């Protein structure tokens, strides 16, 4: 391994170079969010004298971690330390001025980090793009509504990271005027939120949203109810002082227990919109950081100048249903109950049965939940922009669970990053995933970051969708009947 040192506005930083790509790992974009900075907005970037090593992954933020079976599919590394508001930078040339790809990880706003092996930005740098992979506060620290603290601190962290990119990325060989923000799941929901925020204006030129759009925020009332229940379970007030008095590990455990309680009580309707989306800690409409539903602001013209690439996988919700062994227990009556929770007419199921005549009840539920949670919000965001976006669908199916996992949530990520050679990849793809699909997807993402076009026509009146699978190609208005049933509902 060779090393290289660069001068940055923060001080000198030493990274490692291999095969033409230089990585700077764990570079802080804000001070550690602990002690007097706990539950506060992120600080300005720290500076230092002398030379700082950026050769190893930085600390990860406090998080609940995955349980089986999810933990058997997704990697969730933990790196100890408090300097967790950091970025990893992968660059082709520190003396260059390449376009920049900023990745915001997923994990339901309670898990994830830039230490996940699949988020290695080497392939982007290899192909002429500077990749920046961001950590941000999660769960209680990032999203609980706390008296005396700014709301949506995790989103404020993301803004701070983008400001760091604006002010520092030139020192690493990036062009701050050509920034694309991208994310998957909660990361894509974050991208949709950032697109709606005045304080993020001008920080990015393009946006990529993978399995997330502009609908997944909760009201301040619901967020307050969640925080009050958390504090009550700990015997403290929902204040900076009260929750700040609780050890970090204890607070994370209480967060997990509360999420379990909400899941158990969801059918009662006691938890508002959280009972439907099952994310207790997520951005909330606080009237300041997040002024209103992101989709609404985007439909009013926010980020109208931003190029957009957006899409989903074909069977997103198989990830949440198949590994848990739920498929044999799902009936059509249960699917109708899900539709009722979505405030959709039970007759919607008839359209899905017509679309998938041989599907089991479990497969129908996957299709319904995939559309409500992911596909239709993506469609609405595109429609709000008068078709000014590129749309894709990832159709390649994992071989795991005898093929039942299908084209599930998160499956496309190692293809986008061109990381199929990572051993962790097989935990979700199964053995021998097709490199040609990774070649196609990764190239499209690089071209979009570089030029604003991934290589197919925009989504307009013909509703063009690029299908990425064994036989990629553009489909016009795929599954129109199961799209139309959500008009006026979602």
Whole-angstrom CA distances from 388 to 50, 137, 232, 267 are 47, 32, 47, 39
Whole-angstrom CA distances from 408 to 73, 119, 129, 229 are 12, 18, 28, 33
Active-site position among 185, 259, 314, 398: 185
* Cα-based torsion angle of the residue sequence 212, 216, 330, 410 in order, rounded to the nearest 10 degrees: 30
- Tokens 């990774």 identify what position? 438
Q: Encode burial over 65-94: b for 16+ CB neighbours within 10 A, e otherwise.
A: ebeeebeebbbbeebeeebbbbbbbbbbbb
Q: Which residues contact 36 (CB under 8 A, 6 or more apart)?
A: none
Identify the H or E element spanning 225.
helix 220-234
Active-site position among 105, 317, 409, 442: 409
Q: Which residues contact 116 (CB under 8 A, 6 or more apart)?
A: 75, 76, 77, 105
Q: Which residues contact 260 (CB under 8 A, 6 or more apart)?
A: none
Q: How far is residue 61's CA from residue 153's CA, in Å, rounded to a whole number? A: 13
Phi and psi at residue 329, to the nearest 5°: -100, 0
Handedness of CA 74, 216, 290, 248 (dihedral sign): negative
299 is catalytic: no
Do residues 169 and 101 lie in contact, with contact meaning Cβ atoms separated by under 8 Å?
Answer: no
Do residues 14 and 51 lie in contact, with contact meaning Cβ atoms separated by under 8 Å?
Answer: yes
316 is catalytic: yes
Q: Which residues contact 486 (CB under 8 A, 6 or more apart)?
A: 344, 348, 371, 372, 376
What are the tokens at 253? Answer: 């455990």
Q: How far is residue 25's CA from residue 90's CA, in Å, rounded to a whole number? A: 8
Do residues 217 and 285 lie in contact, with contact meaning Cβ atoms separated by under 8 Å?
Answer: yes
Please state whether beta strands 86-91 and 130-134 pair in parallel, antiparallel, or not at all (unpaired): antiparallel
Whole-angstrom CA distances from 447 to 99, 315, 450, 452 are 10, 26, 5, 7
Q: How far is residue 370's CA from residue 351's CA, in Å, rounded to a whole number? A: 15
What is the separation of C-alpha 240 from the centre of its chain, rounded to a whole number of angstroms?
Answer: 27
Active-site position among 163, 316, 363, 412: 316
Among 199, 202, 367, 376, residue whose Cα is nearest residue 295: 376
Catalytic residues: 185, 316, 409
């Amino acid at each position: 391994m060779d090393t290289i040192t660069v001068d940055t506005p923060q001080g000198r930083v030493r990274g490692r170079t291999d095969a033409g790509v230089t990585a700077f790992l764990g570079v802080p974009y804000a001070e550690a969010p602990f002690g007097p900075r706990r539950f506060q907005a992120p600080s300005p970037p720290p500076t230092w004298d002398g030379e700082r090593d950026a050769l190893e992954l930085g600390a990860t933020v406090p998080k609940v971690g995955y349980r089986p079976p999810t933990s058997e599919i997704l990697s969730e590394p933990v790196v100890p330390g408090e300097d967790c508001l950091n970025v990893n930078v992968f660059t082709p040339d520190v003396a260059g001025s390449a376009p920049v790809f900023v990745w915001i990880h997923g994990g339901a706003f309670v898990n994830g980090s830039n230490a996940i092996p699949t988020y290695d930005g080497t392939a982007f740098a290899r192909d002429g793009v500077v990749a920046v992979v961001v950590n941000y506060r999660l769960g209680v620290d990032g999203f609980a509504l706390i008296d005396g603290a700014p709301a949506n601190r995790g989103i404020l962290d993301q803004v701070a990271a983008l400001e760091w990119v604006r002010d520092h990325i030139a020192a690493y060989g990036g062009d701050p005027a050509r920034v694309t923000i991208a994310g998957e799941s909660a990361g894509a929901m974050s991208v949709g939120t950032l697109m709606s925020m005045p304080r993020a204006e001008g920080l990015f030129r393009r946006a990529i949203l993978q399995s997330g759009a502009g609908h997944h925020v909760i009201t301040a009332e619901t967020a307050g109810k969640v925080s009050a229940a958390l504090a009550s379970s700990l015997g403290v007030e929902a204040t900076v002082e009260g929750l700040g008095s609780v050890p970090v590990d204890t607070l994370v455990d209480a967060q997990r227990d509360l999420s379990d309680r909400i899941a158990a009580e969801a059918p009662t309707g006691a938890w508002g919109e959280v009972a439907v989306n099952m994310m207790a800690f997520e951005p909330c409409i606080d009237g300041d950081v997040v002024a209103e539903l992101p989709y609404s602001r985007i439909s009013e013209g926010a980020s109208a100048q931003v190029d957009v690439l957006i899409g989903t996988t074909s069977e997103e919700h198989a990830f949440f249903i198949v590994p848990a062994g739920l498929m044999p227990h799902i009936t059509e009556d249960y699917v109708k109950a899900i539709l009722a929770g979505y405030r959709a007419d039970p007759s919607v199921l008839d359209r899905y049965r017509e679309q998938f005549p041989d599907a089991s009840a479990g497969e129908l539920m996957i299709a319904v939940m995939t559309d409500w949670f992911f596909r239709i919000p993506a469609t609405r965001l595109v429609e709000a922009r008068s078709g000014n976006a590129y749309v894709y669908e990832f159709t390649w199916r994992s071989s795991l669970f005898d093929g039942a996992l299908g084209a599930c949530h998160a499956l496309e990520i190692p293809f986008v990053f061109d990381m199929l050679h990572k051993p962790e990849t097989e935990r979700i793809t199964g053995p021998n995933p097709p490199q040609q699909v990774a070649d196609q997807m990764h190239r499209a993402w690089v071209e979009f970051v570089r030029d604003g076009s991934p290589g197919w026509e925009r989504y307009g009146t013909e509703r063009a969708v690029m299908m990425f699978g064994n036989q990629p190609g553009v489909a016009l208005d795929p599954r129109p009947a199961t799209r139309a049933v959500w008009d006026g509902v979602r």
